[in-house]
Every structure is written in C-alpha cells, then in structure tokens.
Amino acid sequence: MFRGYLSPEPSATGLYCRADDRGEPVVQLSPPLICEQRHFDEMEQILRAALTTAWAML
C-alpha cells in the first residue's frame, strides 16, 4: 500500500522520490547538492501532505 500510493503521489506535485515497503517502510530522497533550506522546506511540505493522506487511507 505504502509504495503503491507514495510513488506516484509526490511526483504529481513535483517531488521525485522512491517509496519502498518491502521491509520497514522508507522514502528515499536524492536532492541535488546545491539545495537550499527553502528546497528542503518544499520537499517536507509535499511529503508531509502525501504521508498524511496515506495515513488516512489506512
């Protein structure tokens, strides 16, 4: 469930990540080395919204 939802959802809002739930659920991010705090803040907002929605679906 985790991987099936989180793989496409953040991508639709501009955050490319990889969700994997074969063991412990993880989300892998690969930000560029030139990220600033505002970029990390944006990633956090997108991922928080996606995780909140996924949690509500459980």
Global confidence as pTM? 0.72
Digit-coded pLDDT (tens) for 3-51: 666 656 777 777 877 777 787 778 888 888 899 999 999 999 988 988 8
Please state, in angstroms and rounded to a whole number, the distance separating the CA atoms of residues 24 and 41: 25
20-25 contacts: CB < 8 A, separation 24 or more?
A: none
CB 13 within 8 A of CB 46: yes
- Structure-model confidence comparison of residues 54 and 49, the more confident one: 49
Q: Is the pLDDT of residue 2 over 80?
A: no
| Domain carrying residue 16 | 2-57
Please state, in angstroms and rounded to a whole number, the distance separating the CA atoms of residues 18 and 30: 9
Q: Which residues contact 39 (CB under 8 A, 6 or more apart)?
A: 31
Give the number of domains in the chain: 1
Task: Give me the pLDDT at residue 1, please.
Answer: 56
Task: Give me the pLDDT at residue 5, please.
Answer: 66
